[in-house]
Chains A and B, each alone.
Chain A
């Protein structure tokens, strides 16, 4: 009996492609489309509410007060700009370190060495995030190996270290796809190293660079853990969100602050869409 039921179900599914598709899509869409997007939407709505200053309860009436506070508060503007600055600095540092490394990996190493180098760059990605931030805490502490102390510079250093592999790997992949014959042709036409880089290598690897920068930029923008570990007293956007949920118990304001990195990321993604970077992720 169950055998014939199974056969009929199989035959039915075989004939009805749309039913198969709906069944396949149902669970993923329910989870990510309904639940996750729903959660994000609910958070966004909360940003237009407020909390009662005495009881700490949510007041569910529409208000723009959170965004007004955000726009007019000197502190928040400073912190937002600082976070943006940190994200840009981390991205640039990683780019400067990653590009020569990726180039040496893709164009100078033998195929066998390339395989090993990729493993060498990938392995630290699996070592825990906290462990790596912690390693810098130990090294930067006043009696550590480096002993430079904590602060904003320490945060930038640590974040650059944490996201470096995310920059190396896309650039390496992009340079590996770049045919050597193009570099040879540039050389035959009389271009030296620097000119070849400027007119051939850089423009063709630019989408890969942008792809890497999406990771370093977005990961730095949302971070609040590394800054707690090595940042001393400095604060980033993430800390403001975190403190408003925990200590201040002001979810609406936290939600409003959280829209800042999201908006910056969306603007960034929209700006780089045309470079074709999103296909390089």
Chain B
């Protein structure tokens, strides 16, 4: 490619600057979690572990974390089931309205979260008369989590073809045995990757959660948002934020290992 040396240098600088812009704010949060100044005056006047200790001992944080994990696991389980079923239907069969099914699955993340949020809360509240709580949060999250599992399973089904399943049937295995011994093992890493994404999506969600959780149910994002504007909670909020940044590396690492595993297959 005939790019001048200046153009190449400029593009590389743009890339480096862009990555800098992406990471500097995160670094500031990490650094501030050790800032001994309560109001995060800049530059930090001193470093301390005090805020990490108080965050660890905060029951509000612990309860919210546990609620988030429950909601994430519930939503992921439903998304795994529905996403896999839909992916099989769309990839393995030809039927009327097949494209509509894909559109329907993407819709909950394509529409603004607030629309999904008030539509669901209105249905729970006025149409069905279900009290809002953890269960309604799980239903809300599952609705937009289906798409991640669906996409992963769909891509895997497309790649793996039907040869091995047909061979299994020829060797005398029935539908269920083939699924258990042939199809499912080949899907496993796609299910893990999709499930991981679904969990992360649910764990981070705030808008749909705001409208579908009742008064008593507080997920971690809700807790952060409630305490964001309380000056005396600021250091603890900052520690929770810093911890979330550090732990966001875990799913990335797992997803990379999974995709590496998939390539060697």
Contact = CB atoms under 8 A, between A and B. Distances in A.
A187 interface: yes
A104 B12 contact: yes
B93 A21 contact: yes
A21 B89 contact: yes
A251 interface: yes
Interface of B: 1-4, 7-8, 10-12, 14-15, 18-19, 21-23, 25-26, 28-29, 32, 39-42, 81-83, 85-86, 88-89, 93, 95, 101, 104-108, 110-116, 118-120, 122-123, 126-127, 142-143, 146, 169, 174-177, 200, 203-204, 206-207, 211, 221, 224-225, 228, 237-238, 241, 244-245, 248-249, 251-252, 256
Q: Which one of B18, B105, B112 has the highest number of Cβ atoms from chain A below 10 Å of its Cβ?
A: B112
A40 B119 contact: yes
Nearest to B122: A43
A242 B151 CA distance: 31
A57 to B, nearest CB: 11
B108 A32 contact: yes
Interface in A1-47: 6-7, 9-11, 13-14, 17, 20-21, 24-25, 27-29, 31-33, 35-40, 42-43, 46
A101 B28 contact: no
A139 B127 contact: no
A28 B29 contact: no
Contacts of B81: 27
B148 to A, nearest CB: 12
B1 A184 contact: yes
A260 to B, nearest CB: 10
B239 to A, nearest CB: 11
B248 to A, nearest CB: 4
Contact of A103 (B11, B106, B114, B244): B11
Nearest to B112: A222
A224 interface: yes
A13 B8 CA distance: 60
Given A25-B85, A265-B111, A138 B40 contact: yes
Contact of B143 (A31, A43, A180, A241): A31
13 contacts: A20-B93, A24-B93, A25-B101, A31-B143, A35-B123, A36-B143, A43-B119, A105-B15, A107-B1, A130-B241, A161-B22, A229-B228, A241-B114
Contacts of A224: 114, 207
A13 to B, nearest CB: 5
A143 B42 contact: yes
State the 8 A-B residue pairs at the shortest beta-carbon distance, nearest first.
A222-B112, A187-B2, A10-B174, A135-B25, A126-B248, A100-B14, A104-B15, A28-B86
Interface in A33-68: 33, 35-40, 42-43, 46, 58
B204 A39 contact: no
Nearest to B22: A124
Nearest to A120: B19
Contacts of B86: 24-25, 28
A132 B2 contact: no
